[in-house]
Amino acid sequence: MRLRDLKGLGIKRVQDFQKIGITTTEELVRYFPRTYLDMTNRVSVREVMHGDMALIACTLVSVEPIRTKGKLKILRALLEQGRDNFTAVWFNQPYLASKLQPGEYLFYGRVQDYYDRISLINPTYERIDANKKLRGLVPVYPLKSGLAQWVVRDAVARALEAENFRTIIPEVLCRKYGLMPLGEAFRGVHVPKSNAELVRCSERIALEEYFTLIAAFKLIKGDRGEARLRRYTVTEREVAAFEKRFPFTFTPGQQGAVRAIYDDLTGPVRMNRLLQGDVGSGKTAVALTGIFMAVRSGFQAAYLSPTEVLAAQNFAILKKLFPDYRVGYLAGASTAAEKRELKRKLFEGEIDIVCGTHALIQGDVFFKDLAFCVCDEQHRFGVAQRNTLSEKGETDVLVMSATPIPRTLSLVFYGDLDVTTIPDKPKDRIPVSTAVIPERKYDSMYGWIRGEIKKGRQAYFVCPKIEDDEGEVMSVTELYEKLSAMLPEVRFALLHGKMKEKEKADTMSAFKAKKYDALVSTTVIEVGVDVPDATVMVIYNAERFGLSQLHQLRGRVGRGSEKSYCFLLAGTESETAMERLKILVATGDGFALAEKDLELRGSGDFLGTRQSGKFLSEIKNLRYGTEVIFTAKKLVDEAFERRLNYDEIRAAAMEKYESLKDVVLN
């Protein structure tokens, strides 16, 4: 049903929802709460700790005039609870000024405590006098375009009554496995009576979504058995000789990966394989060996990278390792003349290997005989982007990921791929020393880092991206200014997600060239460039990251010959936070950390850390366990085996796939 046909919803509200992409009742009921307020769990402002999320009942005293700082518009409200005064601060939400009136409120947000000055950052709020009926678990929705919580709750309640919920899982399987009705599950997620009910209902919705997604991948993968059009003539002896070009001996894991690629390329069907390995496991060397198999057989190969900085780095490696082949480079920053000339050479076969970014996927890029594609850092590209490059030459595709994914979730992330994992690392790689630094030792840590920089080393200082994008900029900018004042002799650079791509690329290139000693950044450096002299990684509010993401950040150092260090600074020293960080200190195994991360945080949160796009951004707020994914696969297999509702499942699955085709995974 169209939202404008929903009774009780005025034109203004419909327009507000349209601004955030919600135009139907189906889309509205899938706008899941990002969290829930336990109305019995209010806290005193005297008890809150820096970094905590807190629900505080208080009085709004006044609202200050809006201040401007660069592109930021800052709104501040003065609050009091008994005799205690504190503030609420919003970034780039000036429209709230007219909505906030003196009175009794419930504020919910992240606590910031600097110099004994407590603030709530970008909090949501409720008028207590207007919401006396709020009891138990109350949904809190992501708010944009001037929408208020009570408006969203009211609209969702109307949509739940109007929507006709229909499962795609065959009825015979629903009865066999006792699945609750889908409508009941949606109502339980939006208005749960208890945490237990919330989990049960979340699991039912997640089961429905994964059933559809896994069915789509099963159909896609079933269509992948295309007969090989090209015959690779490279021999095993030639491959072994190429491996000797590297200044190290391949590990057993690398050798196994090379064997899997060789078997694919000399087999009867096209390759569509994921190469998964921990940071420093040598995936690039394996991929380059695959490229050699193609060009030695007389074909063209392409190496697709997610950023221009990484593409330039890979281009340099290709030129060094393939001196007897013609290597080209194509990126968004290339001049129009350079692009035209390179495209001509690709089409006429005057280039053997091309390295570049998304520019390689453009419709006006044609190859004479493209046979082999490498897609680096797979989680930055969507299925359709990989397929577009593949279709340029009916090619074999190798995608790579340095993000260890638990076996359970590989069904979702890589459902259309065969998976090869490199479990080991080169023996000569020096482990990164990791430590949790208590606040009382911050000064000595900064002094030690100052000494390392004087020796010619470089450092990363990373702070978390917070939910509000403008808050992200504010947070990293504040840290940059603070560190610049504290360590005036250190040349700092600033990097964050709001910068333009060229600006980010230039900053990273300058850092690698040692024009800067230290980089203050958000997690945009998680996947990045090798900076051999970067030996120090400092992560602020480390408890707010997943273990896998912390491990990825730690992998930015230790890429040279010097001993490297990772320092974890916690915003809270709670027992739970410390236990999680101790796990990271104790192990450098990315796959073990990924499994532990999944166990501690749940699959919804795990997926949400690196996924974007409509489907995954919807379900990441659901609370469900990993067994849901296994159950979904079992149901899909049984439905396909018994040919239950095959045409209906295929139609729904392919519709889901089409909706994901243009999604870039982040």
User: For residue 550, what are the contacts with CB-CB under 8 A and spacing of at least 6?
Assistant: 539, 542, 568, 581, 584
| Ramachandran region, residue 115 (left: φ > 0; alpha: ψ -120 to 50; beta: rest) | left
Residue whose structure tokens are 């051999």: 532
pLDDT above 70: residue 322: yes
DSSP 251: P
DSSP 279: T
Alpha-carbon torsion (354, 355, 356, 361), positive or negative: positive
pLDDT value at residue 610: 41
Nearest to 553 by CA among 576, 523, 575: 523
- Is residue 539 a contact partner of residue 493, using CB atoms and an 8 Å limit? no
pLDDT above 70: residue 302: yes
pLDDT digits (tens, 9 = 90+) for 489-534: 999 999 887 788 788 888 888 998 999 999 999 877 755 567 889 9
Nearest to 657 by CA among 213, 243, 357: 213
- Is residue 612 a contact partner of residue 663, using CB atoms and an 8 Å limit? yes
Where does the pLDDT of residue 168 fall: very low under 50, low under 70, confident under 90, or very high at 90 and above? very high
Q: Which residue has the higher pLDDT, 442 or 137?
A: 442
- The rounded distance, in Å, linking the Cα atoms of 46 and 83 is 10
Burial 299-311 (b: 16+ CB within 10 A, else e): bbbbbbbbbbbbb
Do 433-587 and 236-269+281-401 have the same topology in CATH? Answer: yes
Residue whose structure tokens are 């404008």: 4
How many percent of the chain have pLDDT more than 70? 85
Q: Which amino acid is at 389?
A: L
Looking at domain 433-587, its CATH architecture is 3-Layer(aba) Sandwich (3.40)
- The rounded distance, in Å, linking the Cα atoms of 414 and 403 is 12
204, burial (CB in 10 Å: exposed 0-12, middle 13-18, buried 19+): buried
Looking at domain 40-134, its CATH architecture is Beta Barrel (2.40)
DSSP 269: B
Per-residue pLDDT, averaged over 153-179, amounts to: 92
pLDDT value at residue 223: 54
pLDDT value at residue 608: 46
Candidate ranges 11-25, 399-413, 471-485, 585-599; pick with highest mean pLDDT:
11-25
pLDDT value at residue 601: 63
Is the domain spanning 236-269+281-401 CATH 3.40.50.300? The answer is yes
- The rounded distance, in Å, linking the Cα atoms of 123 and 107 is 6
pLDDT value at residue 264: 92
Q: Which amino acid is at 410?
A: S
pLDDT value at residue 595: 76
- The rounded distance, in Å, linking the Cα atoms of 493 and 516 is 6
- The rounded distance, in Å, linking the Cα atoms of 558 and 394 is 39
- The rounded distance, in Å, linking the Cα atoms of 377 and 398 is 11
pLDDT above 50: residue 274: yes
pLDDT above 70: residue 616: no
Six-digit token string for 653:
């699955």
Candidate ranges 116-120, 176-180, 414-418; pick with highest mean pLDDT:
176-180
Domain ranges of the chain: 1-36+150-164, 40-134, 236-269+281-401, 433-587
Strand partners, 108: 55, 124
Q: Which residue has the higher pLDDT, 663 or 414?
A: 414
pLDDT value at residue 544: 81
pLDDT value at residue 371: 93
